Amino acid sequence: MAANKIIEKIQQEAKQNAADIRSAAEQKAAAAKAKIMADAEEQIKTIEASAAIDADEAGRRQVLIAELDTRKKSLGSKRAVIEKAFAVAEDALAQLPEDKWEQLITNIVVSASTTGTEKLQVPAQDADKYKNGFLAKLNAALAKAGKKGGLTLSNLPAAFKGGVMLVGETSDYDGSFATLLEDIRTREEKNVADILFGTEVK
């Protein structure tokens, strides 16, 4: 009888312990679940905040890309206008009246000549002008400027359409209209852009 009571006692205590263990486990599980849910909600808030920032950043990027694209197209159009302006200038040089043409070539030769004895390479279509008196005018202009007026005309025609090449003993000077315009463009393109479009072109 005593043994049965002891067994019953053990069973009752085991049941109580099991209930206590189950209750503690349930409490721990509930606490863990609550923590997991709280952490999940916090992560969701963080993700949502990050997504909002990313969305704002993406929007700003899109606006910036659009602005850059618009500016690129605008600058492209302005470049085309500048190209046209210099092309028109080159055409105008090719169609200068005789007196203006002679004045321009004289200025080029007098300023570029170092010895006064260079050979001049000129476009084939201009050769007769030099042979018919213009070469003599150039030598006279050199002499007036205090330089030796001993220029001669090369038998080799220049490879360009307009202007003059001074061929010296140690160096040559490219006085072609195309090269002169390119030099001017390098130095003055910003000023040309300001004249055409205002000072916003950098």
**Could you read off the pLDDT tens digit of each residue along the chain, which spans 202 residues?**
444 544 454 455 544 544 454 555 456 555 655 665 666 567 666 656 665 676 666 667 776 666 666 666 555 666 777 677 777 777 788 788 999 999 999 999 999 999 999 999 999 999 999 999 999 999 999 999 999 999 999 999 999 889 999 999 888 999 998 888 888 777 766 666 666 666 554 4
CA atoms lying within 13 Å on the CB side of residue 17: 6
pLDDT, residue 5, reads 46
**What is the secondary structure of 91-138 as a DSSP string?**
HHHHT--HHHHHHHHHHHHHHH-SSS-PEEE--GGGHHHIIIIIHHHH
Compute CA distances 153 → 23, 61, 121, 124, whole Å. Answer: 115, 63, 7, 12
Contact yes or no for 167/121 (Cβ under 8 A): yes
Separation of alpha carbons 52 and 92, rounded Å:
59
Q: Which residues contact 116 (CB under 8 A, 6 or more apart)?
A: 139, 142, 143, 147, 148, 149, 150, 151
pLDDT, residue 28, reads 56
Number of Cβ within 10 Å of residue 125's Cβ equals 10
Candidates 165, 183, 182; CA nearest to 174 is: 165
| Crossing angle of helices 177-197 and 2-94, rounded to 10° | 120
Provide the pairing of β-strand 152-153 with 172-176.
unpaired
pLDDT, residue 110, reads 94
Predicted TM-score (pTM) of this structure: 0.56
- 152 - beta bridge partners? 119
Q: Which residues contact 181 (CB under 8 A, 6 or more apart)?
A: 86, 89, 90, 93
